[in-house]
Amino acid sequence: MKTINPLLLSILISLLSSISWATSAHIHENFLQCLSHQVPNSNSFSKVIYTPHNSSYASILQSFIRNLRFTTPVTPKPLVIITPLQEAHIQAAIYCAKEHGMNFRVRSGGHDYEGLSYVSYEVPFVIVDLVYFQSITIDVENSTAWVQAGATIGQLYYRIAEKSKTLGFSAGVCPTVGVGGHFSGGGYGMMSRKYGIAADNIIDARLIDVNGRIHDRKSMGEDLFWAIRGGGGASFGVILAWHIKLVPVPKIVTVFTVNRTLEQNATKLVHRWQYVADKVDDNLLLRLFLRRVNSSTEDGRRTIQASFVSLFLGGVDTLVQLMQESFPELGLVREDCIEMSWIDSILYFADLSGEPLDVLLNRNTSVADYYFKGKSDYATEPISEEGLNRIWKELIAAPIETFEFLFSPFGGRISEISATETPFPHRSGTLYNLHYALVWEEKGSSEFNRHITWIRRFYSFMAPFVSMSPRSAYLNYRDLDLGVNNKGNTSYGQASIWGLKYFGVNFERLAHVKTMVDPGNFFKNEQSIPIL
């Protein structure tokens, strides 16, 4: 067998790199020229366009990257970043990206678990960062709000509380998450058992389609409006804003966090929680966090701590009585509880208690200085005590340090809504969602491989305890391990490998909507809805 001359190989690689660089440079110049022709006042537009030649390019790119996994030298970088000031800038970006064969990414808050709002593994690509689309208009009289897609849920909560002490919104607990992606993927939070998820409370939207046309609910039609409320907006267009229905909250809510270790009967409490959390009064949401900690009874021994974290839409006296009736095993007492306003509970669950309320306006409080990998499951049957003990054994023996296991209860309003009402299918019959979170700070490929290998192995270990056929997952906890699209126009069959896990019976309808509104598959990523 002949071998290639090393000098010739070096020349070939250099030549290919030069061709690739020249091609990118050519596309880059043509794309920028296209933008200048599309926007009449190109001088103002040029101030929000960043290329690798700009001194601000790196800081703009990294400003809202929440995960160090996507800051490595080999992570694909965009050819251009645009931070639009007006809708015409986004329309121009769509038109020119189509004209010059560039992949397209839209970043709202930067929390996509796999970085798909700012990383494309098909290059070249452009990022449209909606950081300046943060307008929020609260209509107290009609209990509604318009919120632009670049706003965060923390900003939304703050603006609601600024106008009313008795209105809130049902969405997540992390205040720096952008509403553009969070709402379009579902949006579970501490009031979801009472009012459903965020997507259940969207009454209108504004969206730019693949042809640059701006739609509201009426002009986009009910099929597309259905698809973007839980099916992920990035497959269908650019979400500009949501019109949401605000929900009533009492002037006083009650929170508590009660910790129990295995030595304090945690196994029986977790087992019992599975029979209570989805059936208890809808005003109560009782989340469960599981972590490995040092035992307080034996030096050097590890144990599991179960943290029962709750929001009750009412006062402490009613809550204590309710818990005594529904979950007396936990032993909740008045001293465990804190009464506060709903907006203060937002700070409590975000670990920001004691901070001024305007900390919710800060988009940068969770910019990452760590590596992160998350996965998810759904439980439709309780895990037995024997099963829980097997899980504890795995977690205690884990060769990694920082992980968290979260059970989020369903039931209540979430389960009253039909599985096909929105693309989010996890409704009646779902007991709780499971979230696996792994965090590490050590750099290097060996540490990366060690942590990723462990969480994948643990995910496989959990298979007997969770839903199956399909093994369901939550889109907002995106996981490329579930499967990815082929490059270009992937097949429906290939995409079904991951799509059925997120969307179940709704996946086929999503593909029909995608084919109708984006037949050329311009809005695509590694887990975008396929065309048929």
pLDDT tens digits, one per residue of 137-179:
999 999 999 999 999 999 999 999 999 999 999 999 999 999 9
Tell me the HSE value of 436 on the side-chain side, using a 13 A CA sphere.
21
69 neighbors 136 (Cβ within 8 angstroms): no
pLDDT at 47: 87
Measured distance CA(212)–CA(429) in Å, rounded: 41
pLDDT of residue 367: 57
For tokens 């992980």, name the residue: 403
Q: Which residues pair with 100 in a beta bridge?
A: none
3-state secondary structure of 389: helix
Reduced to 3 states (helix: H, G, I; strand: E, B; else coil), residue 185 is helix
> Which residues 6+ apart lie within 8 Å of 169 measured at CB?
145, 153, 156, 157, 160, 198, 201, 244, 246, 247
Q: What is the DSSP letter of 427?
A: -
Point out the residues that are catalytic: 477
What would the two tokens of residue 156 be? 């939304």
Structural domains in the chain, sorted by start: 6-129 (3.30.43.10), 136-248 (3.30.465.10), 253-340+369-477 (3.40.462.20)
Q: Report the C-alpha gap between 342 and 189 in whole angstroms.
A: 13
Q: What is the pLDDT of residue 64?
A: 87
CA-based torsion, 228, 229, 230, 232: positive or negative? positive
Tokens, residue 352: 């920001």
Strand pairing report for 214-215 and 167-168: unpaired
Q: Dihedrals φ, ψ of 209, to 5°?
A: -90, -175
Those residues with Cβ within 8 angstroms of residue 295's Cβ, 6 or more apart along the chain or in another chain: 261, 263, 301, 302, 303
Give the residues across from 167 on adjacent strands: 248
Task: Compute the residue count for the chain.
Answer: 532
Distance CA 205, CA 305 (A): 42
- 168 DSSP β-pair partners: 247
Report helix, strand or coil for 339: strand
Q: Which residues contact 74 (CB under 8 A, 6 or more apart)?
A: none
Mapped onto helix, strand or coil, the DSSP state of residue 221 is: coil
pLDDT value, residue 23: 57
Please report the pLDDT score of residue 489 as a whole number.
77
* pLDDT beneath 70, residues of the chain: 1-25, 42, 365-368
Alpha carbons 104 and 97: distance in angstroms, whole number: 7
Burial (Cβ within 10 Å: 0-12, 13-18, ≥19) of residue 16: exposed
- pLDDT in the model for residue 12: 39
- Residue 24 pLDDT: 66
Q: Which region holds residue 429: left if phi is over 0, alpha if psi is between -120 and 50, else beta?
A: left
Give the Cα separation of 362 and 148 in Å (integer). 16
Query: Can you read off the two tokens belonging to residue 172?
Result: 């997540």
Residue 260 bridge partners (DSSP): 306
Paired tokens of 293: 């900690």
- ∠ CA 218-222-224, nearest 5°, is 100
